Amino acid sequence: MKKSMISLAVATAMISLVGCGNQIPDMTQEQQALVVEYAAGEILKYDKNYSSKLNVEVLSEPEASDAQEGTPEQTPVPEQDPSPEPGAEQEPIAAAQEVPVIEKQATIEELLGVPDVTFTYAGYELCDTYPTDQSEEAYFYMSATEGKKLLVLKFQAKNNSGAELTLNMEQTKSHFKIDVNGTRENALTTMLLNDMTYYEGTLGAGEETELVLVCEVPYDLQVETLGLEVKNVENAATISLQ
């Protein structure tokens, strides 16, 4: 019965390919095989006793939930660093030793360690805003907070060598505190181009430039004594300025 139905389907497919023409077109063996395969598929699709192999395989696969059912969930155990064996020596942890600040007769040059450059204290200025000359050439201005004034210490840095050199104060890794009447204030971090803490520039032979350190003090402060604390990796000392 199946063979007769397949033959009928093949004939039908052949006729459909002819259309309204008068002749059945010549087909190669591959084309004939395709027509037979197509017709067989159409017939078997309606056969109740036929089931596709693909469907059988899918139905026979176990469901993921059934496969995992009853499997206890495992909690990951964090890795632990191996403990040292009893009696084993442990490397000591080096504690950072802070350089003590001492009172001594020293120069800024000795503390900063900048060769061929001298630093000379040139006085101070009390003001509400710095620079006081707010010209167009000024890159940055700073103003004191309410109830305060700015104390600006001025220094002249001079190139004493016979050649041009680059002065990079940041490389000294120095921190400054200003001692006013026995009270020490941290020098403010500013964006001033001549900030002594971060200044970097080129000085010609014999050329000098003004550098400053700034802190805030009470508005009605009267300066009686001044000192400068210089602190870096190698040195720490307070220099009397006034």
- Region 39-53: mean pLDDT is 49
Is 127 among the domain residues? Answer: yes
pLDDT digits (tens, 9 = 90+) for 68-124: 444 444 444 444 444 444 434 444 434 444 555 555 567 898 899 899 999 999 999
Is the previous residue joined to 131 through a cis bond, with omega within 30 degrees of 0?
yes
Q: At what angle do helices 2-18 and 29-45 cross, to 10 degrees?
A: 120
Are residues 43 and 107 both part of a single domain?
no
Instruction: Among 63, 84, 116, identify where a domain stops.
Output: 63
Is 169 among the domain residues? Answer: yes
- Region 123-133: mean pLDDT is 92
From CA 231, how far away is CA 126, in angstroms rounded?
24
The larger pLDDT score, comparing residue 167 to residue 87, is at 167
Are residues 9 and 123 both part of a single domain?
no
Q: Are 174 and 236 in contact (CB under 8 A)?
A: no
pLDDT at 240 over 80: yes
Is 82 among the domain residues? Answer: no
pLDDT band (50, 70, 90) for residue 41: low
Are residues 145 and 216 both part of a single domain?
yes
Residue 209 lies in domain: 102-240
Instruction: Among 37, 63, 89, identify where a domain stops.
Output: 63
Q: What is the CATH number of the domain that holds 112?
A: 2.60.40
The top-scoring range by mean pLDDT among 97-111, 197-211, 225-239 is 197-211
Question: What is this structure's pTM?
Answer: 0.57
Is 234 among the domain residues? Answer: yes
Are residues 10 and 119 both part of a single domain?
no
**Dihedral over alpha carbons 214, 215, 218, 222 (to 10 degrees):** -60
Is beta strand 117-127 parallel, antiparallel or unpaired with respect to 175-180?
A: unpaired
Instruction: Among 42, 63, 84, identify where a domain stops.
Output: 63
The larger pLDDT score, comparing residue 163 to residue 22, is at 163
Is 87 among the domain residues? Answer: no
- Region 182-204: mean pLDDT is 94
Domain count, the chain: 2
Are residues 109 and 49 both part of a single domain?
no
Are residues 50 and 124 both part of a single domain?
no
Q: How many residues does the chain have?
A: 242
Are residues 140 and 197 both part of a single domain?
yes
Is 94 among the domain residues? Answer: no
The helix (run of H) or strand (run of E) holding residue 213 is strand 208-218
pLDDT at 59 over 50: no
Is 97 among the domain residues? Answer: no
Q: What are the phi and psi torsion angles at 13 (to 5°)? A: -65, -35
Q: What is the pLDDT of residue 77?
A: 44
What average pLDDT is seen over the chain?
73
From CA 73, how far away is CA 117, in angstroms rounded?
72
From CA 104, how far away is CA 184, in angstroms rounded?
17
Q: What is the pLDDT of residue 66?
A: 46
Are residues 199 and 139 both part of a single domain?
yes
Is beta strand 226-231 parallel, antiparallel or unpaired with respect to 117-127?
A: unpaired
Three-state DSSP at 220 gives coil
Q: Are 202 and 208 in contact (CB under 8 A)?
A: no
Are residues 118 and 219 both part of a single domain?
yes
Are residues 58 and 130 both part of a single domain?
no
Is 114 among the domain residues? Answer: yes
From CA 210, how far away is CA 186, in angstroms rounded?
20
Q: What is the pLDDT of residue 79?
A: 44
pLDDT band (50, 70, 90) for residue 234: confident
What's the first-to-final CA gap in the chain, in angstroms? 124
Are residues 59 and 107 both part of a single domain?
no
